[in-house]
């Protein structure tokens, strides 16, 4: 509680939580705008801020909390699991990943460890909580075009967006449009392509407080949900061209995978 009282950003956040938020994010101080997307999940008890049942850790204690979660040196996944169960702050997952990656104890034994098993993804409890994304190419309207596919793991529906190019900016514009329409996801899954693994996407995920997980090099099938959607989307794009019909981009995987 003492560190929360010393942290100016946390004190401003407490004021908004207790007195109410403005209707527009533009009226929120820049340093706490990241919390606006989940403002309804925040509460204050005994001078400590909670996001649902997890403690929102002030800046001065974040490194210390990561070290406590990583005290057993069990790697990223074990540290993530312990931290997510009790703590939260913007960019927590990326900070944990960087600290564990540079941990001398973990690095010492990393080379002798076998390839990690493919981790199963959490089961979402509401729409657009967990999404997968991928980029693909397809002939459409007389030329080869670039598309971004975004799959909702809760409903198995997907969105298809035409990309101007393969730059991070184009992907971010499409993501922002979908997130504004469906809501901000808690977690997004992608492959390790340069469209997704770059500094601009890292900054985007941090600003929106989205956990960005990439499929491991040994288990690319971990992003299989979007790969299945890509196959369906390509077939629908070709069918719409042949029949001269407009394509409805939001379709359920279950319906069209039969």
Mean pLDDT computed over 238-252: 52
Arithmetic mean of pLDDT over the chain: 82
Q: Please check whether residue 125 lies inside any domain of the structure.
A: no
Do residues 46 and 146 both lie within one domain?
no
Count of C-beta atoms within a 10 Å radius of residue 212: 21
- 95-108 per-position pLDDT tens digit: 888 888 888 877 77
How many domains is the chain partitioned into structurally? 3
pLDDT score at 110: 59
Do residues 52 and 65 both lie within one domain?
no
Do residues 42 and 65 both lie within one domain?
no
Do residues 52 and 26 both lie within one domain?
yes
For residue 34, give its domain range.
1-56
Domain CATH for 168: 3.30.420.10
Whether residue 250 has pLDDT greater than 50: no
Do residues 141 and 212 both lie within one domain?
yes
Q: Please check whether residue 36 lies inside any domain of the structure.
A: yes
Q: Please check whether residue 124 lies inside any domain of the structure.
A: no
Q: What is the band of 117 on the pLDDT scale with cuts at 50, 70, 90?
A: low
Do residues 144 and 247 both lie within one domain?
yes
Do residues 64 and 92 both lie within one domain?
yes
DSSP state letters, the chain: -HHHHH-HHHHHHHHHHHH---SSGGGS-GGGGGGGGGGGGEEEETTEEEETTEEE--GGGHHHHHHHHTTT---HHHHHHHHHHHEE-TTHHHHHHHHHHT-HHHHHHHTTSPPPPPPPPPPPSSTTSEEEEEEEEEEETTEEEEEEEEEETTT-EEEEEEESSSSHHHHHHHHHHHHHHH---SEEEE-S-TTTSSHHHHHHHHHHT-EEEE--TT-GGGGHHHHHHHHHHHHHHHHHHHHT-PPP--EEHHHH--
Mean pLDDT computed over 122-139: 88
pLDDT score at 79: 87
Do residues 1 and 40 both lie within one domain?
yes
Q: What is the band of 248 on the pLDDT scale with cuts at 50, 70, 90?
A: very low
pLDDT score at 258: 39
Q: Please check whether residue 251 lies inside any domain of the structure.
A: yes
Q: Please check whether residue 114 lies inside any domain of the structure.
A: no
For CA atoms 208, 186, 155, 126, the dihedral sign is negative
pLDDT score at 253: 39
- 168-219 per-position pLDDT tens digit: 999 999 999 999 989 999 999 998 888 899 999 999 999 999 999 887 544 4
Most confident of 79-88, 118-127, 137-146: 79-88
Give 89's contacts (C-beta < 8 A, 6+ positions apart): 56, 57, 59, 62
Whether residue 57 has pLDDT greater than 80: yes
Do residues 82 and 19 both lie within one domain?
no
pLDDT score at 240: 66
Residue 182 and residue 129: Cα distance in Å, rounded?
Answer: 10
Q: 54, 11, 46: which is closest to 32 by C-alpha? A: 11
Q: Please check whether residue 204 lies inside any domain of the structure.
A: yes
Do residues 150 and 239 both lie within one domain?
yes
Whether residue 243 has pLDDT greater than 60: no
Do residues 178 and 227 both lie within one domain?
yes
pLDDT score at 212: 92
Do residues 138 and 211 both lie within one domain?
yes
pLDDT score at 115: 53
pLDDT score at 133: 92
User: What percentage of residues in the chain have a pLDDT greater than 90?
Assistant: 38
The β-bridge relationship of strands 211-214 and 187-190 is: parallel
């Amino acid at each position: 509680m003492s560190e929360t009282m010393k942290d100016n950003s946390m004190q401003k956040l407490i004021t908004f939580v207790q007195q109410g938020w403005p209707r527009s994010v533009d009226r929120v101080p820049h340093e706490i705008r990241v919390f606006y997307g989940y403002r309804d999940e925040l509460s204050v008890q005994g001078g400590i801020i909670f996001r649902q049942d997890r403690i929102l850790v002030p800046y001065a204690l974040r490194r210390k909390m990561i070290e406590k979660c990583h005290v057993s040196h069990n790697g990223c996944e074990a540290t993530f699991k312990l931290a997510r169960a009790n703590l939260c702050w913007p960019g927590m997952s990326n900070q944990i990943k960087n600290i564990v990656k540079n941990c001398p104890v973990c690095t010492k034994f990393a080379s002798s460890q076998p390839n990690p098993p493919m981790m199963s993804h959490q089961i979402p409890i509401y729409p657009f909580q967990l999404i997968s994304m991928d980029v693909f190419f397809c002939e459409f309207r007389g030329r080869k075009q670039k598309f971004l596919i975004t799959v909702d793991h809760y409903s198995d529906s997907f969105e298809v967006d035409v990309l101007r190019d393969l730059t991070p900016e184009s992907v971010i514009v499409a993501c922002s449009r979908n997130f504004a329409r469906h809501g901000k996801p808690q977690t997004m899954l992608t492959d390790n392509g340069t469209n997704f693994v770059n500094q601009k996407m890292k900054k985007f995920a941090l600003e929106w407080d989205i956990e960005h997980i990439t499929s491991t090099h040994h288990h690319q099938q971990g992003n299989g949900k979007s790969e299945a959607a890509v196959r369906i989307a390509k077939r629908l794009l070709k069918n719409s061209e042949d029949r001269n019909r407009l394509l409805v981009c939001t379709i359920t995987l279950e319906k069209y995978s039969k």
